[in-house]
Chains A and B, each alone.
Chain A
Amino acid sequence: MGLALLLLIWLITLASTYFFVAKTWWLPAGASAAAGWIDHQFALTFVIMGIVFLAAQLLLGYIVWRYRESPSSPPVEYSHGNTTLEIVWTVLTAVMFIGLNLMGSNVWASQRFDAAEPGAVQVEVTGMQFAWYFRYPGPDGKYGATSPKLMDPSAGGEAAVGLNTSDPAAKDDVVTGTMYLPVDREVDVSLRAVDVIHSFFVPSLRFKQDTVPGLNIHMHFKPTVIGEYEIACAELCGLGHYKMHGMVHVVSQEDFDKWLAAREAEKQ
C-alpha cells in the first residue's frame, strides 16, 4: 500500500511538472514593454515554487513508503518536535516568500504609481453588456462630453457611449469597436463601464484592469510588437460574458495616423 501511494504521488507530481517544464501550455508571447519584467518574475516564482513542489511531494511519497509499518519496523522515536527546526523553517520560508514578493513590487509600482509618459496616445475604453468601445479624442486632444441619457447600445458607435455631439470637443472624437494603437508608444487608457463591472484583459500585452461603473480608471502600457491581439472580458458581466470579445491592432505610427485620419474623414 505504501508503494502504491508512493507511485501515485510521484506519478502525479512528475506528470504535472512535465507539462509545466515542457511549456505545452504557457503564457502567450509577450508584446508590451511590461511583458519582459512580468514574465521574468513569473519564471522566478515558477522555479522557486516548482522546486518546493517537487521536494515536498517526492519527500511525502518517500516517507509514506519508507516508514510503513512492518513486523521489522523499529519502535518510533518518542518526540514532540524540535524547536530549532521550527525556527529554521519559519525564518527560511518567511525570507523566501517576502523576498520574492519585494522583487516583483518594482514592476507594479512603475506601472501603477507613475502617470503615463507625456505624449502618450489617449484612448478611452468603455465596457458595456457585451461589447467594448474605444474613443480617441481627435486632433484637439480633448474628449467630448458624454451623457448617460444619450446612451443607446443598439445604435452602436458614438451613440452607444452617449457622446454629446453638440459639445464642440466631441466633434472630432472617434468611437470604434476595434482598438488601434501605434507600436512603441505609451498608451494612456481611461477605463469606464456603463452597466456592470467588466474587465479589459489583453493576455499578449500582459494587461488587465476591471472597468467599474462610476469610476474612471487611468492606466498606461506600451505595446512593442506589431500584431493583432485578442481582448477577452475577464469579469463575469452577464449572459454574454463569454462573447464580450474585441481586438487590439498594434500598427506602425504611420499606419495608425492613416487609420485615424480615415476615421476622422468618415465623420465629416
Chain B
Amino acid sequence: MATPASVHAHAPQGFIRRYIFSLDHKVIGLQYFFLALTAVFVGMFLSLLMRIHLIWPTAVLPLIGTIQPETYLSLLTMHGTIMVFFVLTTAPQGGFGNYFLPIQIGAPDMAFPVLNMLSFWTTFVGFVVIICAFFVTGGAPLHGWTGYAPLSALPSAGPGEQLGADLWITSIAIFCIASLMGALNFLTTTLDMRAKGMTLMRMPLTVWSWFITAILGLLAFGVLLSAGILLLMDRNLGTSFYVPLVVVNGVVLGHKGGSPLLWQHLFWFFGHPEVYIAILPGMGVTSQILSTFSRKPIFGYRAMVYAMLSIGFLGFMVWGHHMFMSGMSPYSAFAFSILTMCIGVPSAIKTFNWLGTMYKGRIRFQTPMLYAIGFVSLFVSGGLSGPFLAQPVLDIQLHDTYFVVGHFHLIMGVAAIFGIFAATYYWFPKMFGRMMNETLGKLHFFITLAGTYAIFMPMHYLGMAGQTRRYSQFTEVAYQTKLIPLQTFMTYAAFVTIAAQFIFVINLFWSMFKGPKASDNPWEATTLEWTTATPPPHDNFGGVTPVVNHGPYEYGVPGAARDYVMQTDPATAATH
C-alpha cells in the first residue's frame, strides 16, 4: 500500500542520523526499550529504598543517609510515576510496538517517521525533567502518582510541593504530548500500511493490542494533558480549578470555589484506560507466545480481538470505581460498579482462551513461554481481587489499603512486566541477531515469579487487616504495628527479587555481544518478522514486498510439510 517518501532502501551512514536522531522505527523502538530499561532500574531502586525505610527507618544508608518520612513519600510518588509512564507505557508500546508493528503488518516503516523520532525524543525530555525533580530545592513531590488536589496544587502543603511538583506535572504533560504523537502514528500505520493480504482479521494479536492501546492513548492522554495544565495554572497563576477555600497551617489561601473532585474525575478518566495501556500489549504478546510455543493455533482468535476491543471500550466508563470513597454521588457508584464487573467478562474470556490454546498442545518451555505462562498466572491472581474492589460496599474496607496495592501491582505491574520480559526473550534474537542464554533466563524466571508473589500476595492480607497504604511508618497505629513482621518478610522477598534482575541484565548484555548467532526463525513462528533477515534490513524486507496468504497462528495444519505455516507461505486450502 502507501509508502512514505522518507523511507530509503539504505540506512543513513552517519552515526548521529543512524543511531541518535534516527527515522528508522527499529532504532527508535530500541531507544524506547533502553529508556524504559534505565527507568525501570531507577524505579526499582526507589522501591528498594522504600522497603528498607519501612522496616529500618533509622538505618543510615551509604551516600543517602537516613530516609525521612517525607522522603519516603517522594520515593513512592516517583516510583509510581516513573514505573507507570516511563516503563509500563514506554516499553511495550513505544519499544516493542515501534519495532514490530510495522514488520508484523509488512510495512517498511511507520507512517510518519519524523513524528516517530519526535515522539521518542519528547519522551526522553519528559524523563530528564522528572529526574530533575529529585535535585531541586525541596526535592521531589510527595503527593503520590495520582497527585490528588489540593495537596498537589498547594506549594505550602508539604515539602516537595514547590518546584519539584511543577517539574513532576511538566514531565507528565510532556509525556502526554509524546504519547499523543505516538498514538497517531500507530493508528495510521496499522490502518494504511498493511501488506497485501494482511486483512484486519489476519493481524497478529500483538498488532491488535498495539492498535487498541493506541486508540486508548489518543483518547486518554489528551485529557491528562489538559488536567495537568489546569493544575499548573492553579499552582502558579492563582486560578482555582481544583482548590476551594482552604486553610493550610492556619493561613487562609487565596483560592475559592474549585473542586478537588474535578481533578480525580479527570485524572481517573485517563488513569483507568492507562492500566489497559500498560496491560493490553502484554496480553497480545502472551497470546502470540502461547500459540507459538504450544504449536497450536490461538484458541478463539476472534473472541480475543473482541475481548480486547470491549476491554478498551469499557475501560473508559469505569473511572469512578477509584472514587467510591471520594464524596462522589453514591448513586453513580452503582453504574461504575456494574460496568467494572462487566470488564471481568472479557478478561475471563481471554484467560479461558489462553488455557484452551495450551490444552492438547505440544508445549515447549523456552524462556519466552515461561514468562507468558507466568503472565497468565499473575493475570488470574491480580484479576480476581478486582471484583472485591469493584463492589463499593467492600471498597469501604479495602480502599486505600495494601489490598489495592497488591491488586494493581500483580495485574498492571508485575503481569505487565512479565509481558515485557516475555517480549524481550522472544524478540531478542530478531532485534540483536543472537540468542539469549536459556539457563540464565529460566533461573531469572523462577526466582522472579516466586519472588513477586512473595512480595505482593501478602499485601492482600495486610489490606484485609486494615493496613493503610502510603504510610512511611506503621508505629503510630497500634493495630498496624502488629503487621510489621509480614512487612519485614516482604522486604526480604524484595531483596531476592531485585537481586535476580541482575541475572537478566547480565544475560541481556552478554548475549547481545557473545550469544550464539540466531537463525531467521529460531522459534519456528509464523508471523512476518520471522520471514525476514535477522536483524531485519533497514527497509525490513530487503526490497521485497511481502504478500500475506494465511492467518497469524497456523500451527499443526493437517497435511502441511512442517508443523507451522508462515503467513507468507503459498496459499493452501487447509488454513484460514
Contact = CB atoms under 8 A, between A and B. Distances in A.
- Do the two shown chains form a genuine complex with each other? yes
Interface of A: 1-2, 4-5, 8-9, 12, 16, 19-20, 24-28, 37-38, 41-42, 45-46, 49, 52-53, 56-57, 59-60, 63-64, 67-69, 73, 75-82, 85-86, 89-90, 93-94, 97-98, 100-101, 104-105, 107-108, 111-113, 128-129, 148-149, 151-154, 162, 194-197, 199, 201, 203, 206-210, 212-215, 217, 230, 232-243, 245
Contacts of A100: 341, 387, 391
Nearest to B385: A49
Given A67-B360, A197-B260, A210-B325, A236 B394 contact: no
Interface stretch (B230-238, B449-457, B526-534): B449-457
A55 B563 CA distance: 31
Given A63-B359, A242-B476, A80 B301 contact: yes
Given A97-B345, A214-B259, A239-B69, A232 B480 contact: yes
Contacts of B333: 108, 112
B363 A68 contact: yes
B18 interface: no
Contacts of B571: none
Contacts of A67: 294, 358-363
B390 to A, nearest CB: 7
Given A104-B391, A162-B247, A214-B244, A28 B466 contact: yes
Given A8-B446, A80-B300, A213-B246, A208 B325 contact: yes
B352 interface: yes
A154 B247 CA distance: 13
B157 to A, nearest CB: 6
Given A41-B391, A57-B380, A80-B300, 19 more contacts: A16-B453, A27-B466, A45-B391, A46-B388, A56-B351, A77-B360, A86-B352, A100-B341, A111-B393, A112-B333, A152-B250, A194-B247, A232-B468, A232-B480, A235-B148, A239-B70, A239-B158, A239-B159, A242-B471
B341 A101 contact: yes
B294 A79 contact: no
Interface of B: 69-70, 73, 142-144, 148, 150-151, 154, 157-159, 243-250, 252, 257-261, 294-303, 325-327, 330-331, 333-334, 337-338, 341-342, 344-345, 348-349, 351-353, 355-356, 358-365, 370, 373, 376-377, 380-381, 384-385, 387-388, 390-394, 396-397, 399-401, 442, 446, 449-450, 453, 457-458, 460-462, 464-466, 468, 470-474, 476-480, 483, 486, 555-558, 563, 576
A238 B151 contact: yes
Given A80-B301, A89-B348, A242-B473, A101 B390 contact: yes
Given A67-B362, A90-B349, A194-B247, A97 B70 contact: no
A76 B362 contact: yes
A261 B401 CA distance: 37
A69 B157 contact: no
A252 B162 CA distance: 48
Contacts of B355: 56, 59-60, 63
Contacts, number: 324
Contacts of B478: 230
Nearest to A234: B400
Contact of A81 (B294, B353, B362, B384): B353
A243 B364 CA distance: 52
Contact of B556 (A27, A41, A76): A76
B303 A86 contact: yes
B252 A148 contact: yes
Given A78-B558, A89-B349, A101-B390, A197 B334 contact: no
Q: Give the interface centre of B69, B327, B458, B479 by most chain A CB atoms within 10 Å.
A: B327
B148 A197 contact: yes
Contacts of B302: 81
Contacts of B337: 101, 105
Contacts of A94: 342, 345
B143 A236 contact: yes
Contacts of A90: 345, 348-349
Contact of A76 (B258, B446, B555): B555
B295 A76 contact: yes
Nearest to B333: A108
Contact of A45 (B249, B259, B394): B394
Contact of B330 (A4, A26, A63, A108): A108
Q: Give the interface centre of B261, B297, B393 by most chain A CB atoms within 10 Å.
A: B393
A69 B246 CA distance: 66
Nearest to A78: B556
B495 to A, nearest CB: 19
Contact of B365 (A49, A68, A76, A232): A68
A196 B157 contact: yes
Contact of A232 (B142, B362, B477): B477
A52 B120 CA distance: 42
A20 B388 CA distance: 14
B295 A129 contact: no
A157 to B, nearest CB: 14
A28 B479 contact: yes
Contacts of B73: 236, 238-239, 241
A20 B143 CA distance: 32
A48 B394 CA distance: 15
B157 A76 contact: no
A105 B137 CA distance: 48
Given A67-B361, A73-B362, A107-B393, A81 B327 contact: no
Contacts of B338: 98, 101
A245 B477 contact: yes
Given A197-B260, A234-B401, A245-B476, A81 B299 contact: yes
B388 A45 contact: yes
Q: Give the interface centre of A28, A80, A162 by most chain B CB atoms within 10 Å.
A: A80
Nearest to B381: A53
A227 to B, nearest CB: 12
Contacts of B388: 42, 45-46, 49
